[in-house]
Amino acid sequence: MRRGIARTGYDAIGVLVFAVMMFPIYWMVSTALKPGTEILSLTPYWVPNPITFDNFKTAIAVPFFWNDVVNSLVVVLTVVAISIVLAFLAAVAVARFGFRGRSAFIVMVIAVQMVPLNALVIPIYLLLDSVGQVDSLLGVIAYYMAVVLPFMIWTLRGFVHNIPVDLEEAAMVDGASRVGAFMRIVFPLVAPGLVATAIFGFIQAWNEYIIAYVLLSSSSKQTLTIWLASFTTQHGTDWGGLMAGATLTALPVVVFFLLVQRHVAGGLTAGAVKG
């Protein structure tokens, strides 16, 4: 009984925290649903009345919107898919092997994360320019991979470390094939870590602005964050469009999370726990 009351109390606090954290999000979504006259008003409108989808319609009608969606998806999925493989391999090496240079590799992985990325804009541009990858999705993909890899390796390392070596060997002794052993025993243990790391990489690459803006100039090659910037012009900001755009940009990540959230709870970091 007491436990029940305590839980109800915690639930109440939980809902309160939810409300506070979500208030800006609520404001964003409700603004996206408001007609223009209610958006900038000296007395705020709490609930859009009437609800309108005009802002979403204008946001989607921006020229090249669907191009941007495709480009963002291509960039982000490529970055996530490749870097998760590379990060996993490196994580296995660091977690399972002692080798000359391991300490240096670890230090590098941590140190790279300390570099203020805005200071690299010029050097990165000149590097990609010298290899002809300015205004090309490939250049952006390579840069994003280099930026998310250190964090991914770091997270996955602790995670791989947590899997008992005996498990793999036991499965093999039982006569399972290599792949079979992996699929049945190891993969389920690594999967949450991979998912959690993938979310991180996804969000980083999905939301990056300055490098994408500097590198991608052709309208047909730009990504969604540049589309978001198009709501701010010299003539002011289209708040309704911007908020609709931001909502649309955030939604895929939320949906992805809800789909995988069971795995994430354990995963987001079981790895890091032993980090």
Partner 1 sequence: MVTAIGLAAALVVAACGSTSQAINPADQTGTLTVWLMNGSAPQSVVDGVNADFKAKYPNVIVNVEIQQWSNVTTKLDTAFAGSAPPDVMELGNTLVAKYGYNGALADITGQKSSFQNSGTWLQSLTDSCTVSGKLYCVPYYAGSRAVIYRKDMFAAAGATVPTSMDEMLAAGQKLMTKYGSDPNFSALYFPGKYWYAAAPFVWDFGGDIATQSGSQWSGAINSSASQQGLSVLQNLVSKLSRADKTGDELKQDQAFAQGHIAMIIANGWEVGVITDKKSGNPSLLPNLGAFPIPSHVAGQTAPVFLGGSDLGIAAKSQHQALAREWVGLLGGTKYQSQMVTVGGVIPNTTSLVTLSSGLPAIFAAAAKNSRFTPNSPNWANVESSNVLQNMLVAIFTGRSSIPDATKAASDKIATILNASS
Partner 2 sequence: MRAAGEIGATKALARSHAEASPFNFRAAVARHSLPYALIAPALLVILGVLGWPLVMLLWLSLQHYGLRELFQHQGTFVGLKNFSTILADPQFAYTLRTTIIFTVVNVGLSMLFATLIALLLERVSRFVRVLLGAGLVFVWATPVIPAVNLWQWMFDYEFGVMNWLLTRIGAGNYLHHNWFENPLQGFSVITVIVVWGAIPFLAISLHAGLTQVPRELVEAAQIDGARAWQVFRHVTVPTLRPLLLVLFSLSTIWDFGVFNQVWVLLNQRPAQDYYLMAVFSFQESFRVSQYGLGSAVAVVMIAILVVATFLYVRQTVRSINEGGA
Q: Which residues bind partner 1 (CB under 8 A)?
A: 36-37, 39-42, 54, 58, 121-122, 125-126, 129-130, 134, 210, 213-214, 217-219, 226, 229-230, 232-240
Binding letters toward partner 2, positions 96-115, x by CB under 8 A: xxxx-xxx-xxxxxxxxxxx
Q: Is 78 in the site for partner 2 (CB under 8 A)?
A: no
* Smallest distance from partner 2 to CB 57, Å: 18
Backbone angle region of 180, left / alpha / beta, with phi > 0 → left and psi within -120 to 50 → alpha:
alpha
Q: Is 138 in the site for partner 2 (CB under 8 A)?
A: no
Entry field: residues in the chain: 275
Both tokens of 142, joined, read 């390579």
C-beta pairs of 95-99 under 8 Å, 24+ apart in sequence: 95/157, 95/158, 95/160, 95/161, 96/160, 96/161, 96/165
For partner 2, the binding residues in 161-200 under the rule CB under 8 A are 161, 165, 168-169, 172, 178-179, 181-183, 186-187, 190-191, 194-196, 198, 200
For the chain, state the CA radius of gyration.
Answer: 23
* Total site size for partner 2, rule CB under 8 A: 122
* Smallest distance from partner 1 to CB 148, Å: 22
For partner 2, the binding residues in 216-245 under the rule CB under 8 A are 225, 228-229, 232, 237, 239, 242-243, 245
Single-letter residue type at 127: L
* Smallest distance from partner 2 to CB 52, Å: 19
For partner 2, the binding residues in 16-35 under the rule CB under 8 A are 17-18, 21-22, 24-25, 27-28
| Residue owning tokens 């939320």 | 254
| Residue owning tokens 């602790």 | 158
Nearest to 89 by CA among 143, 156, 25: 156
Find which of partner 1, partner 2, none residue 131 binds, CB within 5 to 8 Å per kind. Answer: none
Nearest to 208 by CA among 194, 234, 229: 229
